[in-house]
Amino acid sequence: MSHETLLKCRFSDSGRGFGFAVITEGDGVGSEDLYIAPEDTRGAMTDDIVLVHRFRRGEAGYTRGNEGEVTKILERANTEIVGTFTMHGALGTVRPDNDKLHALVHVSGADIGEARTGDKVAVRIHSFPNRRRGDDVFVLAGCVTAVFGKAETREANYAAILHKNGIPTEFPDEVIWEAEDSAARRIDPAGRTDFCDLPTLTIDGADAKDLDDAISLEKTADGWRLYVHIADVSHYVPEGGSIDREAYKRGTSVYFVDKVVPMLPVALSNGACSLNGGEVRYALTAIIDLDREGNPTAYDFKKSVIRSDVRGVYSEVNDIFENGHESPYAQKYAGVLPMLTDMHELYGILKTAADKRGQLSLESVEAKFILDEKGIPTDIVARTRGIGEMMIEQFMLAANVAAATFLSSRSQPCLYRIHPDPMPDKMRSFAIFAHNMGLDASGIGEGVSPRRLSEVLAEAEEKHIAECVSGVMLRSLSKAKYSENAAPHYGLALKLYAHFTSPIRRYPDLFVHRAITSVLTGSRRPAHPAESARVSSEAELRAVTAERGIEDLYMAQYASFHIGEEYAAEITSVCSFGVFARTDKLFEGLIPIEALFGRGARPDFDEDAHTLRGRVGGEIRSYRLGDRITVRVENADVPAGQIDFSLAGEEIPAAQPRTVRPEKPYGKGGKNFGKGKSFGGKHGKNGKSAKHATSGKAGGRHTSKSHGGKKHGGRHASKGGKYTRRG
- Please give the pLDDT value at position 562: 97
Cα–Cα distance for residue pair 654/384, rounded to 1 Å: 43
- Please give the pLDDT value at position 488: 96
Cα–Cα distance for residue pair 580/589, rounded to 1 Å: 5
- Please give the pLDDT value at position 588: 96
Cα–Cα distance for residue pair 585/581, rounded to 1 Å: 11
- 225 contacts 289 by C-beta, under 8 angstroms: yes
Cα–Cα distance for residue pair 315/484, rounded to 1 Å: 38
- Give the global pTM: 0.84
Q: Which helix (H) or strand (E) holds 457?
A: helix 450-462
Q: Following CA atoms 218, 503, 370, 330 in sequence, which dihedral angle do they give, to the nearest 10 degrees? A: -20
Using alpha carbons, select from 617, 615, 621 the residue that is nearest to residue 571: 621
Strand order in the sheet with 619-624: 604-606, 611-616, 619-624
Q: Is 707 helix (H, G, I), strand (E, B) or coil?
A: helix
Helix and strand totals (H; E) in the chain = 15, 31
- Please give the pLDDT value at position 22: 85
- Please give the pLDDT value at position 61: 64
- Please give the pLDDT value at position 497: 98
- Please give the pLDDT value at position 134: 56
- Please give the pLDDT value at position 709: 39
Output the DSSP codes for 599-662.
Answer: TT---EEETTTTEEEEEETTEEEEEETT-EEEEEEEEEETTTTEEEEEETT--PPPPPPPSSPP
- 50 contacts 44 by C-beta, under 8 angstroms: yes
Output the DSSP codes for 246-314.
Answer: HHHHH-B-EE-SS-EE-SS-HIIIIIITS--TT-EEEEEEEEEEEETTS-EEEEEEEEEEEE-SEEEEH
Q: Across the strands, what pairs with 283? A: 231, 304
* Regions of the chain where pLDDT drops below 50: 1-3, 656-727
**What does DSSP assign to residue 185?**
S
Q: Which helix (H) or strand (E) holds 321?
A: helix 314-323
- 685 contacts 691 by C-beta, under 8 angstroms: no
Can you list the domains of the chain with their CATH numbers?
A: 3-75 (2.40.50.140), 81-151 (2.40.50.700), 173-419+483-541+708-721 (no CATH), 424-477 (no CATH), 551-691 (2.40.50.140)
Q: Which helix (H) or strand (E) holds 318?
A: helix 314-323
Cα–Cα distance for residue pair 96/100, rounded to 1 Å: 9
Using alpha carbons, select from 671, 593, 479 the residue that is nearest to residue 46: 671
Cα–Cα distance for residue pair 67/64, rounded to 1 Å: 8
